[in-house]
Amino acid sequence: MNKMDKALGKLDELPRAGLWAQPTIIEELPRLAEANGGARLFMKRDDMTGLAFGGNKIRQLEFYLGEAVAEGADVVLITGAVQSNFVRMAAAGARKLGMDCHIQLEERVSKNDPAYRNSGNVLIDRLLGATLHSYPHGEDEAGADRALHAIADDLKAKGSKPYVIHLSPGHPPLGALGYVVAAREIVSQCADEKLVFDEIVVASGSGATHAGLLFGLRALGDQVPVTGICVRRPADVQKGRIVERCTEIGEILGIPSPVVEDDVVVLDEFLAPGYGRMSQKVADAMGLAARQEAVITDPVYTAKTLAGFLARARDAAPTSKMLMIHTGGMPAVFAYEKDVAAAFLPDAG
């Protein structure tokens, strides 16, 4: 075990399902930087993980599904928003490992148009053969988990061996370990490519990606500032969630959390008008990246993160180097067809 591995405690002893070829690249975006002004821009392309349109959630699912396989499960259950990338990737990972998948879709966004209900991630869920369920609330994580367990109990009574991926706090955040691994990957890539970043920007939603990345970097002695862009909750609520996730990661790995409260930086100025809804700032960032670098972002997570990333870069020195974690979410672009068309094709229809 080398020094880097030892710093991360029991990470490599935990069950993990290998579902994609690693690592993802770190790409410089010079045209976007020139158009934006300010710092040099780089992107960690976790949208390129491959399986079923890719995205960062496969990192998290390697640990959840690794545990599911170790327990002998034959069906995976997960809950999320109607256009959740996580549930789409869970269905893909389950199929790759020979398991069924039951997906519970929560009403987090008040959109009833056919594209949102049937295209994008939902279409891929159906193509993968997942069984879909609905949950009428969007801000009731504990209730969503209880409903998921009711489905699991029914499956168990019929002879299945279900594995539940929980949403609410109070359960070990195994998925966050995927970004502890990503942190190790980034540190190694930076050493190989002689890169030193002045800031890393990442979406902050459930908290697993943000907390795992921050924990991993600090455990490895990397003090680069990590800024989380809120995509679901206001900053005052999200900060406590990240601190708590970091403590829980330490408990899983058998090491104290190296993250102190001042390490947790979250910004919510790009959250409005709310989860899963676009603003002009988000549309502008989405269009700029697409037209300067052919980088596609989605309205829910990555375009909001990109808007924050570009704003931070404009305030930084031209010699600064900034890295954004592109977490994927491509199918959601099609689900938000009306919003995207209104922003970029105002005369359409």
Return the structure tokens found at 224.
Answer: 């680069």
Other Cβ atoms less than 10 A from the Cβ of 76: the count is 27
DSSP tag of 130: P
CA atoms within 13 A on the CB side of 290: 16
| Closest to 275 (Cα-Cα) out of 334, 229, 306, 227 | 229
Quote the CA–CA distance of 296 and 8 in Å, as a whole number. 33
Q: How far is CA 322 from the centre of its chain?
A: 19
Positions of E strands within 197-241: 199-204, 226-230
Quote the CA–CA distance of 172 and 192 in Å, as a whole number. 33
| Closest to 228 (Cα-Cα) out of 187, 191, 200, 266 | 266
| β-sheet with 40-45: strand ranges across | 26-28, 40-45, 321-326, 199-204, 226-230, 265-267
Residue 250 burial by Cβ neighbours in a 10 Å radius (0-12, 13-18, 19+): middle
| Closest to 58 (Cα-Cα) out of 42, 47, 74 | 47
Catalytic center residues: 84
Cβ contacts of residue 118 below 8 Å, gap of 6+?
none
